[in-house]
Amino acid sequence: MDEEIYGIDIDHAHKRAVELIPEEFFWSCIDELAPFGSDEGDTALAEFRDWRKQNPKIPTIECLKWVIESVGEMNFKDYNQEFLERNGIKEAIKDEDCGQQYLYTLDNSVIVTGFIHLVG
């Protein structure tokens, strides 16, 4: 059995993924600003891989719904244009139960979950 590579590794990536995303920044597991370099990105990657093992035939949109509902603690339908408008974000940041870190974690988790489908 092949040992699973931890993190994202451009040397073991699918050829098409490297063609689509050749910049080393996107493949970094140490750059905090890179999708997989932060703790949130690393966690999202690991959780996606676990989810995919448990749900090999489920459409990937279901994983994105799961991320939004679990990390965002909201219904998927509520993660919409209205939530993402500037005033909605400003209000969420002011909310003690939400806050800036919460939004960062949710956004990063959504970005990584989408991105992993290209590179994972």
Q: What ranges do the domains of the chain cover?
A: 39-119
Q: Whole-angstrom Cα distance, residue 48 to residue 111?
A: 12
**84-116 residue pLDDT tens:** 777 777 777 777 666 666 777 888 888 888 888
- The DSSP output letter for 58 is S
Confidence class for position 3, pLDDT limits 50, 70, 90: low
pLDDT at 16 over 90: no
Q: What is the mean pLDDT of residues 68-96?
A: 80
**24-56 residue pLDDT tens:** 888 888 898 888 888 888 888 888 889 989 999
What does each C-alpha distance from 16 to 8, 10, 19, 25, 113 come to in angstroms? 15, 11, 5, 17, 18
